[in-house]
Structure 1
Amino acid sequence: MTRPRSRSRATGPATRRAVRRAGLALGCLLLLAATACTGGGRDAPRPDGGKDRAADGPLVVASGLDVTGSGGVRRQLVEEWNRRHAGSRDKQAELVELPGDADQQRSQLLGALQSGSARYDVVNLDITWIPEFAEAGLVSPMPPAASEREADDDLDFMKRVHATTVWKGRSYARPFNTDVGLLYHRTDVLTGAGIPAGRQPSADWTWQDLYASVKTLGVSPRSTRDQAGWTTQLKEYEGLTVNVVEAFADVHVKLADADGRYKADPVSLKKGLDALLTRNRLGQVQPAALSSDETSSLADFAAGRAVFLRHWPYAYGALGGMLDPDRYGVNRLPGAAVLGGQNLAVTADSARAEDARALVRFLTSAESERCLLDAGFAATRDSTYRPGAKACWPRVAAALRPSPGATAREGAPKEQSEAARAAYRTTLHDALNAAEQRPRTPYYGAFTHVLQSRVHALLSDETPDTAQAAAELDSALKDAFAGR
């Protein structure tokens, strides 16, 4: 999809929006605890936020937890914005972090925006939520670029990444940080097994190459203590959906078209499910993968319980604090890799939309994107990965820099060389430019729930029947994509 240079504003009828608000707010009260709708905990949104306070206080940015830590890069960027607007009290901003996993955060944001129980000016949305929030009239379309310079700046975003902001021809957000599946490998284990560097993962590796290496290693895990060929995230949550979509894409199984209409059938679904099961069987997946998320799968890999790992870019920085650089490597995922990430959108009810859009532009600027990349996120701009890219804001860079003694302490892992980091950035950029999208639909929540529950049950079955599972999944997905 091409990116529109000019975007128009559109809002639904007020009465329709009022009905939607009331309906979803009631659903939130029935289905979730009160704190799940309005947030809870120290960093959660305040329940007295409503429209009476809409023009007072700071600009509020609602976001999920930052994987770079409590003093992470997102908070540092908001603080940099505040320093640059120190003389303007009405332009100060505040980052509110929502607790829970992605599904819980989505429920909190939907409940808060629909009911008006918390005042947000900017929301950091998972890329899969854009159609749902746009269709419900909860976020505003981005206005046309105000100048040629702004238009050129917009074109700096990677095309596949920017496409995640678009729904029905209009962009509703700006890309903040992106994500893509990568393959990590234990160089020390492969070398120790007699597999030379030339046979270890490279940009043109396939799953057959991985299977061949696993066969050479001779692993056959029966318990979580055994060494496995590979591990990933197969727990019943969004990580499982990502793994399924990647396996399906490898055998050209498409679940929906660009407008969110269901396109699969029992025959194609069986093909995709067979590919997923083959990947786990021939790859000798770690038994713990069925209950693993990002944290536990990374721990298994770092501990040597898996030789290969499918994970996100931030694992590269995390492994730097666990292993010496000669003990692991990273490359593109064999076959298809799914795009992830978050986009910043201005809420439809923000009383200071112009200031909120200026804040979004700052947080997604070339300098801010470099800060995100340096902190371990994947940046959304092409220019960030090129030689001569704009540097991170100096004070943010200083705040993110580890203390001098952190890497000097006895037993601490060595740092990756600049050459290794540059090679990693090239690998990451190439992977992002070839990444696949998950289905784009306003009913993504229903879709992913159906897929997770059905596929997890299949993976847990000792004698899986993929034909029957595909038929049942087909019926359930038809309903999910139709909003039934």
Structure 2
Amino acid sequence: MTYGDRRTSRGRARAAVTLACLLALVSAACTGGPGGTPQDGQEESAEGPIVVASGLDVTGSGSVRQQLIEEWNRLHAGSKAQQAKLVELPGGADQQRSQLLGALQSGSARYDVVNLDITWIPEFAEAGLIRPMPVEESGAAADDDLDFIRQVHATTVWKGRSFARPFNTDVGLLYYRPDLLTEADIKADKQPNAHWTWDQLYSSVKTLGLNPVRRDELAGWTTQLKQYEGLTVNAVEAFADAGVELTDSEGKYSSDAGKLKKGLDALLDRVGRGRVQPAALTSDETASLTDFAEGRAVFLRHWPYAYGALGSLMEPRDYAVNRLPGKAVLGGQNLAVTADSPRAENARELITFLTSRESERCLLDAGFAATRASVYGSAAKPCWPRVAAALRPAGDAPTAAATGEGTPKGQGAQARATYIRILGTALTEAVQRPRTPYYGAFTQVLQSHVHALLAAERPDTDAAAEKLDKELRDVFAGK
């Protein structure tokens, strides 16, 4: 059922309920249709709390999302209907998606706001599970929307309508070991506006003389090649570098076997034996970060939150960060109002607060990547004072181990400022994964074929591309 179908059926129910109320002469007591669901125009009278469903906070910041919810509740202490509650869903991204789909389709959970991975927006929008955001043609609200980084805001859009607001974003970054590079006389002091190309990274690995065979040996670099979403991200980045786009903006398949072979060859070259840590084939974010921190890789592809995590794992002089060579994929989550929420107006106000300039600064300080361009500028608004205080021990200087703020011990404000500039630039250049309502099926098919290819002793990209092309055609056609 589409959102339009839901609105039509609700319109009929609303008319019937109104007539019943008039006949009974108790219209003042009539609050909803079947099941007690409030109708449009009556959202303000619905009892709270506003329930927000989200995945777990990976930053180790003391839950900045929960702190933001508590700040909202303090600001609305006089209104029971505007109080909010955060529900954190367990499990990985695939499990959270299944939980949310099941809950919203069955109505078994009363969620008003859902924090959706950016790749889920087309699926939830197409299924009529989330509401389009109001269209602001002009005024303060329209101007405020322009502050979101363009590529990041585009992740909220499906078929010309925005269905969410960007909450926290993500982008691939390159972490490296200056200590090991300096020992090999490799210049590691890259400027904020310059970064390695893949050829330069390969050249550095060759100069280091690394050709690892075992998992405990030092390798040139490592990343996430386990059969899960991290593998999809690495594959899409390699495809993008090779000029291969899998879909158009409407989610229609736009590739073919020849293009896929080009992308698969680029991925194989990138993770070829002798360059990548052998353990990468079974590594997720945690495992690859550990290999890097414990000295089994010189370079690491990872997300922004790793910057804060490394502060408690390594000496500050032993690691640094820059933009990823070539194309980097966007990640992150967007906040959307559920289609059946009886508190939609209050839910939208909460989302506006959670994505405000002050709140986005809190998210950046906690280790997430902020979605607003202004947060990366010199005139950025500070984090809400009480939230900032909750993210660090009272009276103490902030440390990464205590706050997850991404301010590693000893690196200081200058290194932090450099990191923020790098992150802001990387976000403006990032690319999206395919935009499709069938993303769940797509990523499983891609992971299966790519992982088998990487694990093969003699990988055949011609045959792999032919098989992958056939299955992707079916996937993107909804078969």
Deviation at 1:320, TM superposition (A): 1.2
The letter for the 1-side match of 2:472 is: L
Deviation at 1:415, TM superposition (A): 3.0
The 1:379/1:17 distance shift into structure 2, 3 A limit, reads: farther
State the SS of the aligned residue for 1:243: helix
State the SS of the aligned residue for 2:245: coil
The letter for the 1-side match of 2:203 is: A
Query: Which residue of the partner structure matches residue 251 of structure 2?
Result: 260
* Distance of 2:370 and 2:65 partners within structure 1: 13
State the SS of the aligned residue for 2:174: strand
Alignment map for 1:297-312 (pairs within 5 Å): 297-312=288-303
Deviation at 1:198, TM superposition (A): 5.1
The 1:66/1:86 distance shift into structure 2, 3 A limit, reads: same
Query: Which residue of the partner structure matches residue 357 of structure 1?
Result: 348
Query: Which residue of the partner structure matches residue 78 of structure 1?
Result: 69
* Distance of 1:257 and 1:121 partners within structure 2: 31
Bigger radius of gyration among the two: 2
* Distance of 2:196 and 2:313 partners within structure 1: 26
Alignment map for 1:37-436 (pairs within 5 Å): 55-69=46-60, 71-145=62-136, 148-197=139-188, 203-281=194-272, 284-402=275-393, 404=396, 414-436=409-431
Matched, 1:13 2:13: no
Deviation at 1:376, TM superposition (A): 0.6
Query: Which residue of the partner structure matches residue 460 of structure 1?
Result: 455
* Distance of 2:321 and 2:207 partners within structure 1: 20
Cα deviation 1:333-362 (Å, max 9, x = unaligned):
000000111000000000010000000000
The 1:401/1:147 distance shift into structure 2, 3 A limit, reads: farther
- Structure 2 residue runs of 5 or longer lacking an equivalent are 11-33, 39-45, 402-406
The 1:129/1:407 distance shift into structure 2, 3 A limit, reads: closer
The 1:16/1:298 distance shift into structure 2, 3 A limit, reads: farther
* Distance of 2:158 and 2:294 partners within structure 1: 42
Q: What TM-score, normalized by structure 1, do the two folds share?
A: 0.87
The 1:215/1:108 distance shift into structure 2, 3 A limit, reads: same
Deviation at 1:51, TM superposition (A): 5.7
* Distance of 1:306 and 1:91 partners within structure 2: 49
Asked if the contact 2:177/2:298 (under 8 Å) is kept, the reply is: yes
Query: Which residue of the partner structure matches residue 472 of structure 2?
Result: 477
Asked if the contact 1:230/1:283 (under 8 Å) is kept, the reply is: no
* Distance of 2:64 and 2:400 partners within structure 1: 23
Cα deviation 1:274-332 (Å, max 9, x = unaligned):
10000011761111111111111101100011110000011011111112221111000
Asked if the contact 1:82/1:93 (under 8 Å) is kept, the reply is: yes
State the SS of the aligned residue for 1:13: helix
State the SS of the aligned residue for 1:95: strand
Matched, 1:446 2:441: yes
Deviation at 1:144, TM superposition (A): 2.4
Count matched residues: 442
Asked if the contact 1:51/1:119 (under 8 Å) is kept, the reply is: no
What percent identity do the matched residue pairs reach? 70
Asked if the contact 1:17/1:137 (under 8 Å) is kept, the reply is: no
Query: Which residue of the partner structure matches residue 43 of structure 2?
Result: none
* Distance of 1:446 and 1:156 partners within structure 2: 33
